[in-house]
Amino acid sequence: MRCHYCLNRVVGKPNIVILKGIGPAHYQCYENNRVHSRVFGDLDLQTLNDDALNELKEMVLSECNSRKLMTEEEAVELFS
Ligand SMILES: [Zn+2]
């Protein structure tokens, strides 16, 4: 079996991770890829098309605004 990233053998090597739905990888290769990639949880942002990425962006901004509003409302209640 070979590392998903560097394609070198993983059998008999220490520090191997198994990537769900992908296969084995050296831990160091996995970490190097994770640092340089745009992955959040199981979501690889680079796989999204422009429409999906913009939809996700709007959802994140909406959630941030919602939380900000709640904080401001709580502050108003505290001082009124
Ligand atoms: Zn590797």
pLDDT in tens, 30-39: 999 888 888 8
Residues 6+ apart with CB under 8 A from 22: 4
Rounded to the nearest angstrom, the distance between the alpha carbon of 54 and the centre of ligand 1 is 33
Rounded to the nearest angstrom, the distance between the alpha carbon of 35 and the centre of ligand 1 is 15
Rounded to the nearest angstrom, the distance between the alpha carbon of 32 and the centre of ligand 1 is 10
Cα–Cα distance between 57 and 38 in angstroms, integer?
Answer: 14
Does this model's pTM top 0.75? no
Q: Which two tokens stand for residue 13?
A: 């090597």
Cα–Cα distance between 27 and 39 in angstroms, integer?
Answer: 16
pLDDT, position 62: 96
Residue 10 · residue 16 · CB < 8 Å: yes
Distance of alpha carbon 32 from its chain centroid, rounded? Answer: 14
Q: Which two tokens stand for residue 18?
A: 């198994």
